[in-house]
Every structure is written in C-alpha cells, then in structure tokens.
Structure 1
Amino acid sequence: MTFKGLRVALVGPLPPPAGGMANQTRQLAELLRGEGATVEVVQVNAPYRPAWVGQVQGLRALARLLPYLWALLRAAGRADVMHVMANSGWSWHLFAAPAVWIASLRGVPVIVNYRGGEAEPFLQRSVASVRPTMARVTQLVLPSGFLQEVFARFGMQGRVVSNIIDLARFRPVPPKGGAHLMVARNLEAIYGIDTALRAFAIVHAARPDAVLSVAGSGPLEGALKALAAELGVAAHVRFTGRLDRDQMAALYRDADLSLNPSRVDNMPNSVLESLASGVPVVTTDVGGIPYIVRHGQTALLVPRDAPEAMAAEALRVLGDATLASALREAGLAEVRRYSWQAVRSELLAAYMDAMRRPHQPADRRTKD
C-alpha cells in the first residue's frame, strides 16, 4: 500500500500565521505530495477578497464562509478521501462540521483529525451538536492517547496517529552551556506565559546571565511585557513575535532550555520540536503532556501555575550538565517516533481503512 495516486482533500489552516495546526497542515500536504498523492488543500483561513472585507465585522465571516463552502464542494467531488484538521469551539462549527457533512453527502470517506487540549470542556458543552456530525465521520484520528481517552468517554472511538516532526529541520547542535531560555506558545491565557515570566525572574536572580525568548503572538502581548517590566526582567526578555518554521528552528538551536508553562494542552509541537533540537524541556504536567514525556527521563514536569517549581527545575538543568545531557539524549531517542518514516504507515492505514469502510461512523456510544 502506498499514497501514490491517492487524491486527498486536506482541510485546515495554512500559514500565515505560522501556528501549530497551520504548520502541520502545510507539512502534511508537502509530505503526501512527496509520496505521490494529489493533495488539494481547502484553506479555512484563506485571505479575504477583497482585503477590506476583513475589517467589517459580521461581513467578514460571511465573506470567508461562502468561498470556503464552495471550495469544499469542489474538492469533495475530486477526492478519494477528505482529511479534516479539526479543533474546538467555533472552529469546529464553522469549518470542521461543514466539511464532514459535505464529504458525507457526496459519498466521500472523511477523516476528522482532531487536535487541541480543550476537547473535554468542548465536548461537555457541545456533545449534543457534535454527535450528529461525528455520526458521518468514517475515521476519527487523534494525535495522542490522551485525546483518545477523552473522546472515548463521550462514546467516540478514535485511533492514534501521532503529530509529525521534521527531524531534518529541527535538529540538534552541540550544547553551549549557556542560560538562554525560550517559550514557544501563543500569548494567550491558556498557555501560561505569565508563569514562565515569573519563573524566569527567579532564575535570573540566581543566574544573572540568563535571558528569555518568547516566540509567539497574541492578545496578552502588552500585559506580558508590562509584567516583565514589573518583575524587573524586561531588559532580559525578548518577545520575538510569531516566527516561521525556519526561524523557530534557528531559535531552538540557540536555546539552552525550553519552558512550556501551558494550563491546557494536548500534544504541543513546541515540546516535541525542543526534544528534536536537543533542548531540555521543563513543562507543566497538564492534559496530554505526560503521554509524550516522562518526568526525569525525557523532560522535567511541574504543576501548572507554579513558577517557583518551574524555576527550581530550570535551575537544576542549567546547573547540572549531566542531567541536561541525559534529558537531551533521551529526548532525541524518544522523538524519533514522530518522524514521517514512523508515522507514515499509521496514516496510510487510516486512509485505507476509511476507504474500505466509508459508511462506518466514528461515533460509537460506549456500553455502561
């Protein structure tokens, strides 16, 4: 079995902005084309045409939705399988659900590739509206055992197909022995950048040579810069804004330690990319993170909203070359299972099963 000759309608966001799902969508399209598949990307965040429409509240949603629905109809008519990159909230209702219904009505097997750490609260709120759509899904594909368990609690059975990390782009360099810390998350409340800043202030008090790079953008940028100033570390913190994948790879290669302070999470690419780049990780233990790293072996885990604990573990790594080396080597070994060579067969099996069983829905109520 190969991807050669397969016609895939891939539904999802594309950069810019270069977020996790957008990067995964673009990367998957490139990999599938490299395997000989024909891939038509239906972009959920396509630019507004004309551009001024994007400034008109109310009109902009309609201006994006109508061309999107038309693109879905056309793509479904040319595809052997539709692969939908899905998330929670309005993204599900406006983009994922219409893609599922259109593919189903056109008789095209549809795979929902759900991502995001907020699946459980979303399903608790919206399961009644999600179930009819899931009943038309041929395969539910999830990037982690964590999400597989979450969906199973709502009677929806999924299979795990891991995220893909580009090990050629995200590669290690010899350790530098410095104190350059980094965070690669959006500047939103759920990602806990304030915790990282408070932790860094403690680290900097002990290591005056320490610096912090915060790679991401979001609505809390002003508040977080103000917090850095309040903590007295603004001169040592660099807010880079959102970086593309090559810029991110360069940042990892320059870093000595990666912090992931998220309050909600599934399978953060930033953690896996850090491992692939040979950068030790200190992360919160929320959501799916314990499913991808093990405390004391491939990363150091701390509770959410605990800057003192995060700082203590960061200082441990920065001050113990043996520990840093052990985390680095174990992380490099672990991340190999997220390479395309490792994930390729999992995804191909999901496609083949979907096309063999186009009318077997993913929505299954568990028996009490």
Structure 2
Amino acid sequence: MKNLLYIGNKLSGSGLNVTTLETLSQNLTAVGYRVATASSQKNVLLRFADMLFSVFRYRKADYVLIDTYSTSAFWYAFAVSQLCRVLTKKYIPILHGGNLPYRLKQNPLLCSMIFGYAHQNIAPSHYLLHAFEKAGFTNVSFIPNSIVISQYPFKERKDIKPKLLWVRAFAALYNPKMAVDVLVALQRNYPDTELCMVGPDKDGSLEATRQYALQQGVTVTFTGQLSKADWTALAAEYDIFINTTNFDNTPVSVMEAMALGLPVVSTNVGGIPYLLEDGKDALLVNANDVSGMVSAIDALLTTSELAHTLSLQGRQKALNWDWESVKKLWIALLQ
C-alpha cells in the first residue's frame, strides 16, 4: 500500500476545530494507506518549518497531499509545493479556500507554479472545480468532503421552534455577529427565540461577538470548542441551523447539520449555491442580509411542510457525502 504525506494545519490539540487533514488522514489510514501528517505546531514559524522538514523526512512518500487555502495558509501550500517540485515529488493540492478564485486572478503566476505542476488538484466543490477549469487548469478533479454518516443520528424536524444553532470557528470572515442580529430581529415576533453558538476563537471574534450580544441586550449560549460527539448530541436540542459566512467553499459543519436533519438557512456566498439548492434542501439568502435570513426562518416556523422537506432532503443529500462512497474516488486517484 502506498505511503502518503499530508501537509496542513493539525491544531485541534491547540483548541481549534478538527480539520480535513485530521479526518481524511484517519480515513485513508483505515483503508490501508500509511499516512504521515504535518503540522501540529501552534507557532506559525515552527509549523512552517515542520511542514518543510517533513517533506524531506518523508521524501519516499508516493504522494504529498497539501491542504490549500486562499489567505495566509496559501503560503504554506506554495512553499511545500515548490519544494516538492525540487525533489520531484508528486503533490496533490486539496482546494479549501472559498476565496481561491480571487487568488487565481490576483496571483496568476504563483497559482500556475502551484496548481499547474500538481499531479492533480482536488476540488471538494463544483464551485472551485468550475473556477479552476475557467482559469485554464485541466488537472483538477472533484472529490467532495466526506463525513461518516453513522456518526450523525438523524432527527426528523417538522413542527419546529425558534431554536437556532451556529457552528463554526469564530472568525470575522464567518460573520458571527450576523447571528446575533438575526436573534435580535426574531425576538420581536418570537420572544422565545434561542441561539447557541459553538466553536473556538480564531481571531478575537468570539469575545467581540460575546460583547456585541451584551450590547444588543440578548442572551446567547457560547459553548466554546466542542468535540464532534458533543456538538452533534447538542444539536438534538435545536431545530434550525444558520450559516452567516461572507466567504465559503463547502463548510463541513453545514454538511453535518444536514446529516442530523437540521433545516439549514445560509448565506449564498462562494461555493454554498453549488452545495445547497434553495428551497429544496436549504434556504439561501444574500451575504449579511439579516432581514432575509429572518424571513427564511419565519417561513420555516410557519410552514411545517417546508421545515419537514428541508430536514428530509438535507439528510438525503448528506448520504452522498458518506466516506463509504467518497473513499472509492480517493482510492482511484491514489492507485
């Protein structure tokens, strides 16, 4: 069986959310691949050095997988990919950044150096697949993010209550304050509306959101980081999942919410319209459109048939993301 090196952020031990690196590397190991990973170093410079050193250390690996984002982590991917080129190692960028299409336009030379020489680029969304094909890259394939469906107990929703769940790392680009604004607006007509926000802090946004809720005079439950088992168990107490992000690709938390049977209301940014179908398996609104999200939630609360449809169709779509199906695509790629 082949040896793999997987490069990316592995920081759940430092209080951040579990990343694709951690879940996918475990899944690939379970089907027989030997997978080394880097890096779990919390310090940025040490993490960068560890990634590069690991490419030397595991230079006999058959493939190097590289989690590739559009902001600061883009430079990890650039450096690692160029070192792989020097060492004539086959590398596979896994495209995660919701703003990567912007990076393709702003830095075409750097992007051609990374993506043009890759063994294959993996797009977890049709959004990024189309963006890379439009930019002229022919070495790009679609493999969706995956979940283990058996880990998500389905609860059918129909007659629901205004109990909102938000799950994400607290970062400005995910617009967590919008969730507070939605709560404030909903409580005018639904005084019993509740909001629970789950996730670790990434850039100071957790405390900023907490203070914002206090300023607005509303009570929000902030749990901090929870394990997957803990937050999926907590989800049974809530009826609507909201996603307020300004930039996105294919958020796993949204996929997980659908697997749990939570009707999803999301902003329609980035890859979201490629992941969700408005009115069929989710409700979509414009970025930062508080009134639009409030109206969508009101429709769920007043139309049990709509809530029921989204609950059932969301779970049905989530079945397509089960690892048992997705693993066949990875095995075919890594043959």
Q: Same fold (TM over 0.5)?
A: yes
Cross-structure match for 2:188: 205
Offset of 1:102 from its aligned partner?
2.8
Residue 122 of structure 1 pairs with residue 103 of structure 2: yes
Residue 105 of structure 1 pairs with residue 86 of structure 2: yes
Offset of 1:17 from its aligned partner?
4.9
Offset of 1:86 from its aligned partner?
1.2
Q: Secondary structure at the match of 1:76?
A: coil
> Of 276, 283, 287, which residue of structure 2 is paired with 1:300?
283
Between 1 and 2, higher relative CO (CA 8 Å, sep ≥ 6) is seen in: 1
Cα distance in 2 for residues equivalent to 1:212 and 1:39: 39
CA deviations over 1:5-28 (Å, ceiling 9, x no partner):
1211111222235656x4321111
Offset of 1:105 from its aligned partner?
2.9
Cross-structure match for 2:296: 313
Residue 169 of structure 1 pairs with residue 164 of structure 2: no
CA deviations over 1:312-350 (Å, ceiling 9, x no partner):
111221233222111111111111111111211222222
Note the residue ranges of structure 2 that are not aligned, 5 or more in a row. none
Change (3 A) 1:26 1:64: closer
Cα distance in 1 for residues equivalent to 2:233 and 2:6: 29
Residue 228 of structure 1 pairs with residue 209 of structure 2: no
Q: Secondary structure at the match of 1:90?
A: coil
Cα distance in 2 for residues equivalent to 1:191 and 1:177: 26
Offset of 1:143 from its aligned partner?
0.4
> Of 332, 352, 364, which residue of structure 1 is paired with 2:315?
332
> Of 18, 22, 28, which residue of structure 2 is paired with 1:26?
22
Q: Secondary structure at the match of 1:240?
A: strand
Q: Secondary structure at the match of 1:149?
A: helix
Q: Secondary structure at the match of 2:187?
A: helix
> Of 13, 18, 21, which residue of structure 2 is paired with 1:16?
13
Cα distance in 2 for residues equivalent to 1:298 and 1:190: 24
Farther off after superposition, 165-174 or 257-266: 165-174
> Of 44, 67, 72, which residue of structure 2 is paired with 1:90?
72
- What is the aligned length? 330
Cross-structure match for 1:131: 112
Change (3 A) 1:19 1:351: farther
Q: Which has the larger radius of gyration?
A: 1
Residue 46 of structure 1 pairs with residue 29 of structure 2: no
CA deviations over 1:263-311 (Å, ceiling 9, x no partner):
1111111111110011000111111111111111100111111111101
Q: Which amino acid is 2:33 matched to?
A: A
- Map 1:39-78; keep pairs closer than 5 Å: 39-43=35-39, 45-47=40-42, 54=43, 61=45, 63-77=46-60
Paired-residue identity, %: 24
Preserved contact between residue 262 and residue 304 of structure 1 (Cα < 8 Å)? yes
Change (3 A) 1:172 1:17: farther
> Of 228, 231, 249, which residue of structure 2 is paired with 1:245?
228
CA RMSD between the two structures: 1.9
- Map 1:250-269; keep pairs closer than 5 Å: 250-269=233-252
Q: Secondary structure at the match of 2:73?
A: helix
Farther off after superposition, 133-142 or 219-228: 219-228
Q: Secondary structure at the match of 1:301?
A: strand
Runs of 4+ in structure 1 off by over 6 angstroms are none
Cross-structure match for 1:149: 130
Please report the TM-score for the alignment, with normalisation by the length of structure 2: 0.92
Note the residue ranges of structure 1 that are not aligned, 5 or more in a row. 48-53, 55-59, 353-368
Q: Secondary structure at the match of 1:311?
A: helix
Farther off after superposition, 239-248 or 278-287: 239-248
Cα distance in 1 for residues equivalent to 2:31 and 2:16: 24
Farther off after superposition, 269-278 or 203-212: 203-212
Change (3 A) 1:7 1:325: same
Cross-structure match for 1:194: 177
Cα distance in 1 for residues equivalent to 2:198 and 2:312: 25
